[in-house]
Structure formats: C-alpha cells, structure tokens
Amino acid sequence: MAKTSTSAGHGAHGDGAHSEHAAHAHISRGTYYRVFAALMVLMALTVGAWWIEGIVALPRLLGVAIAMAIAIAKTTLIVLYFMHVKVSERATQLYAAAAFIGFAIMVIITMGDYFARGWPPPPGPLP
C-alpha cells in the first residue's frame, strides 16, 4: 500500500552503513489520504455499532469487543502510516511494539490476580 521511494544519497559519509532496509523510504501523500479515509470509515462504524446496540439488544461483551477491535484497527493504521513505523528502523519498530505488549502484560497479570481473588465482587454497595 505504501509507495516507497528512495531519496537521493545523503552525501559522502555513512551511506549504506546502517540503512539496509528502506531506511530512506517515505510514505506518499496519497497513502496518507487513503489512511485518513479508512480512519473516517472506522469512526463511522464505531458510532454506528453503538447506535445499533441501542436498538438491538446485543450481549454487552460483544459490544465492547466490537468497539475495541475498531479502536485497535485505527491505532494500527495511525502507528504504521502516520507514525511511519512501517518504514522505520527495526529498533523503532521493536519499541513501538513493546509499548503495546507491555500494556498487555500489565492487563493480563493484573486481571489474572483479580480473578484469582474472586473478581467481580458480589452485587451490592462498593466494597
């Protein structure tokens, strides 16, 4: 999807020393517009899904899953194209992934602990 093109060399030193893969690549304006259009479609979908859930009784968990799937899709588009991670260095890609994996680890360990202690609590006033 991303049109990559290599720009002109950057002078005498350092060229090719570390840019083994598409380090000079950039994302074209056309791609930005298409990504933006996709983001707008996803935005309409998430509000539309919420509106439909107000009419048709769907399982609550399904509604949350749809909303989060759309939010994750939007984030992926923004990170890959707007934040250039698709054409970034490997180390940058690793850190971008680490941010989200780190958050996932926090959620899994924390919720695991809560469930092991009988979460959610029985109905009634807040403990």
Give me the count of residues in the chain: 127
What would the x/- binding string for another protein be over residues 65 to 104, using CB under 8 A?
--xx-xx--xx--xx-xxxx---xx-xx--xx-xxx-xx-
Distances (CA, A) of 99 to 60, 85, 102, 109: 28, 13, 5, 16
Cα–Cα distance list, 106 to 71, 74, 84, 109 (Å):
19, 22, 26, 5
Nearest to another protein of 1, 100 (CB atom)? 100
Q: Assign residue 5 a region (left: φ > 0; alpha: ψ between -120 and 50; beta: otherwise).
A: beta
Using CB under 8 A, pick the residue from 3, 4, 6, 50 that binds another protein.
50
Total residues binding another protein (CB under 8 A):
64
Shortest reach from residue 1's CB to another protein, in Å: 14
Q: Return phi, psi of residue 81, to 5°.
A: -100, -55
User: Which residues form the interface with another protein (CB under 8 A)?
Assistant: 10-15, 17-19, 23-24, 26-29, 32-33, 35-36, 39-40, 43, 46-47, 50, 53-54, 60, 63, 67-68, 70-71, 74-75, 78-79, 81-84, 88-89, 91-92, 95-96, 98-100, 102-103, 106-107, 110-111, 114, 119-121, 123-126
